[in-house]
């Protein structure tokens, strides 16, 4: 064999070795990438599961969850007891939400921040801020048990919410102290979750009216309405 031929063989072998090493490096790189991708996939999956679990835990710990066994309670306002009868069969989320908040003492010492005295007759309560913007730190939906004729009868307890948003309910509710027609909006009506009796306890609050100076009769109650407590039976 000539030296040139041997050199050619050597060169070819060297190229093959270089190609082999390049292939091995590519395999190692790809293997490493796949392992990294698998690890990232596992981490992402675990993260998604953790978020899903956390959301469910928060939902059932802080928001509406399973229907409670409680069907009655007593709301005491300005020292006057007002018995409540819940309707868990038709508004399970709303009842569960209200009962959980009541059992946590959420409603104690909260004032009712709104009264309407013209056309619609309701006393709105349940806002810890006292200005209509507060809540429990979460919101929920959808709307349950809204009357199809938009008529809310005297003594009805219903959930307040933002206009046109059926998933914006939280802790705020309203007491209907006189039959009222409350028109539905694009989201529907308002969740009726029970009835409250002894409305005579609201007489001084109703007679005091609102602090709104115009003819709408919609504003803060002139006579303070303070929820002392809500005791679930």
The per-residue pLDDT for 150 is 98
Contacts of 27 (CB under 8 A, 6+ apart): none
Q: How many domains does the chain have?
A: 2
Same domain, 161 and 212: yes
Q: Is the residue at 67 inside a domain?
A: no
User: Which residue range(s) make up the domain with 102?
Assistant: 72-232
Same domain, 58 and 106: no
Q: Is the residue at 84 inside a domain?
A: yes
Same domain, 58 and 79: no
pLDDT above 90 covers what percent of the chain?
67
d(CA 180, CA 189): 13
CB 31 within 8 A of CB 37: no
CA dihedral for 222, 189, 154, 125, sign (positive or negative):
negative
Q: Is the residue at 16 inside a domain?
A: yes
Query: Does 204 or 48 have the greater pLDDT score?
Result: 204
Residue 64's closest CA among 215, 177, 171, 165? 171
Same domain, 100 and 20: no
35 has a pLDDT exceeding 70: no
Q: Which residues pair with 75 in a beta bridge?
A: 82, 230
Same domain, 100 and 47: no
d(CA 96, CA 112): 21
C-alpha angle with apex 108: 174 to 119, nearest 5 degrees? 15
**163-222 pLDDT tens trace:** 999 999 999 999 999 999 999 999 999 999 999 999 999 999 999 999 986 667 899 999
CB 210 within 8 A of CB 221: yes
d(CA 25, CA 87): 69
CATH number where 137 lies: 2.40.100.10
Strand segments, DSSP code E, in the chain are 72-77, 80-86, 110-111, 114-116, 122-125, 151-152, 156-159, 173-176, 180-181, 192-196, 218-219, 226-232
Among 14, 36, 62, give the residue marking a domain's end: 62
Same domain, 85 and 27: no
């Amino acid at each position: 064999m000539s030296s040139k031929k041997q050199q050619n063989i050597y060169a070819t072998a060297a190229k093959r070795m270089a190609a082999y090493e390049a292939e091995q490096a590519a395999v190692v790189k790809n293997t490493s990438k796949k392992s990294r991708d698998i690890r990232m996939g596992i981490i992402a999956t675990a993260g998604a599961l953790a978020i899903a679990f956390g959301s469910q835990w928060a939902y059932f710990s802080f928001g509406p969850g399973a229907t409670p066994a409680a069907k009655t309670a007593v709301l005491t306002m300005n020292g006057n007891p007002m018995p409540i009868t819940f309707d868990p069969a038709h508004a399970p989320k709303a009842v569960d939400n209200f009962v959980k908040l009541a059992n946590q003492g959420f409603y104690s010492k909260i004032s009712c921040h709104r009264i309407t005295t013209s056309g619609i007759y309701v006393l709105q309560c349940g806002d810890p801020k006292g200005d209509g913007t507060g809540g429990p730190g979460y919101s929920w939906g959808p709307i349950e048990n809204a009357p199809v004729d938009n008529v809310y009868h005297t003594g009805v307890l219903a959930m307040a919410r933002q206009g046109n948003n059926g998933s914006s309910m939280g802790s705020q509710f309203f007491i209907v102290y006189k039959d009222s027609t409350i028109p539905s909006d694009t989201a529907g009506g308002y969740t009726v979750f029970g009835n409250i009796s002894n409305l005579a306890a609201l007489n001084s609050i109703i007679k005091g009216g609102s602090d709104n100076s115009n003819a709408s009769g919609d504003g803060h109650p002139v006579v303070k309405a303070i929820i002392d407590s809500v005791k679930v039976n």
